[in-house]
């Protein structure tokens, strides 16, 4: 990917697609710097990495929506103080697109900012509860799923010892009668998934919601995909899955 103009940064927090309301999305991962300078440091300071933190912050225009629980304002207000998945895809959220993901505490929400004549603005910020992972979109948001199936396979890589596979599930909309969807993460050693292994399964989703899970390494499989089991009468789900190894 070359340099780019930011036009389509897709940000998902819990069950909400913040994209159309945001014009600023920032991810900040940093380590504490612990001074370890001694007389033997040859005149230069020495540091070691301490604790790491992640912060995801968004800003844009306040959107009251039409009163749905998944509209930006009601959902972001309800999420204040709660922990949930945050995913940011810098250049769209098509299958396989680059994505950063973490599980974060929504630490702040500033709705309705601005002066007379301004377009009402908002800001929100999440503090990561886990590592920031750099990965990709395993399932895109714009494809409604109505029957059981699997997603596209991607070679995300093996999970080494000491690292984990982090996965976010954002269920953006659900319709139908008694709809239920269970999303699982599968791995295999080949793109065709001839011998898939289920490595983790999310709790069944019956409404718009967000979930985060992680799987400890090591793994020998390097190919990954999502599988989804859907039940109900005329069910339909829109959801995003992002995954990364960190």
Residue keyed to tokens 């339909």: 236
Interface with another protein (CB under 8 A), residue total 20
Compute the distance between CA of residue 157 and CA of residue 147 in angstroms, rounded to an integer. 28
Nearer to another protein, 19 or 106 (CB): 19
CA 210, 52, 18, 120 torsion-angle sign: positive
Contact yes or no for 228/192 (Cβ under 8 A):
no
**What is the rounded distance in angstroms from the CA atom of residue 63 to the CA atom of residue 215?**
36
| Segment contacting another protein by CB under 8 A, of 16-24, 95-103, 176-184, 195-203 | 16-24
CB of 79 to another protein, least distance (A): 19
Residue 79 in the binding site for another protein (CB under 8 A) = no
**The only residue of 2, 38, 42, 66 in contact with another protein, by rule CB under 8 A:** 66
CB 166 within 8 A of CB 131: yes
Closer by beta carbon to another protein, 125 or else 183: 125
- Contact residue for another protein among 40, 67, 162, 192 (CB under 8 A): 67
Q: How far is the CB of 84 from another protein (least distance, A)?
A: 20
Rounded distance between C-alpha atoms, residue 119 and residue 40, angstroms: 57
Smallest distance from another protein to CB 121, Å = 11
Instruction: Record the tokens describing residue 64, joined without a space.
Output: 């009251």
The dihedral region occupied by 178, where left means phi > 0, alpha psi between -120 and 50, and beta the remainder, is: left
Q: Per-residue x/- mask for another protein, residues 18 to 57, rule CB under 8 A?
A: -xxxxx-x--------------------------------
Alpha helix stretches (DSSP H) within the chain: 72-78
The only residue of 52, 64, 204, 216 in contact with another protein, by rule CB under 8 A = 64
Instruction: Please report how close the Cβ of residue 114 comes to another protein at its closest, in angstroms.
Output: 12
Longest dimension (CA), the chain: 72
Q: At closest approach, how far in Å is the CB of 26 from another protein?
A: 13
Footprint of another protein on 81-120 (CB under 8 A): 117, 119
State the distance between the two ends of the chain, measured CA to CA, in whole angstroms: 21
Residues that bind another protein (CB under 8 A): 6-11, 19-23, 25, 60-61, 64-67, 117, 119
């Amino acid at each position: 990917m070359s340099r780019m103009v930011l036009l389509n940064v897709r940000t998902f927090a819990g069950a909400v697609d913040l994209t159309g309301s945001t014009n600023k999305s920032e991810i900040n991962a940093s380590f504490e710097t612990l001074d370890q300078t001694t007389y033997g440091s040859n005149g230069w300071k020495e540091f070691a990495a301490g604790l790491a933190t992640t912060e995801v912050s968004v800003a844009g225009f306040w959107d009251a929506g039409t009163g749905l629980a998944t509209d930006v304002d009601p959902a972001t207000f309800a999420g204040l103080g709660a922990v949930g998945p945050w995913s940011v895809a810098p250049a769209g959220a098509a299958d396989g697109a680059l994505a950063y993901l973490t599980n974060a505490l929504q630490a702040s929400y500033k709705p309705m900012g601005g002066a007379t004549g301004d377009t009402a603005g908002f800001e929100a910020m999440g503090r990561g509860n886990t590592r920031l992972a750099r990965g990709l979109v395993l399932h895109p948001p714009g494809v409604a799923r109505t029957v059981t199936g699997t997603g596209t396979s991607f070679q995300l890589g093996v999970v080494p010892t000491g690292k984990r596979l982090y996965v976010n599930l954002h269920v953006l909309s659900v319709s139908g009668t008694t709809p239920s969807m269970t999303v699982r993460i599968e791995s295999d050693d080949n793109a065709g998934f001839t011998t898939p292994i289920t490595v983790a399964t999310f709790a069944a989703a019956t409404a718009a919601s967000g979930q985060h899970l992680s799987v400890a390494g090591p793994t020998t499989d390097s190919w990954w995909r999502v599988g989804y089991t859907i039940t109900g009468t005329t069910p339909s789900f829109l959801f995003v899955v992002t995954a990364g190894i960190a």
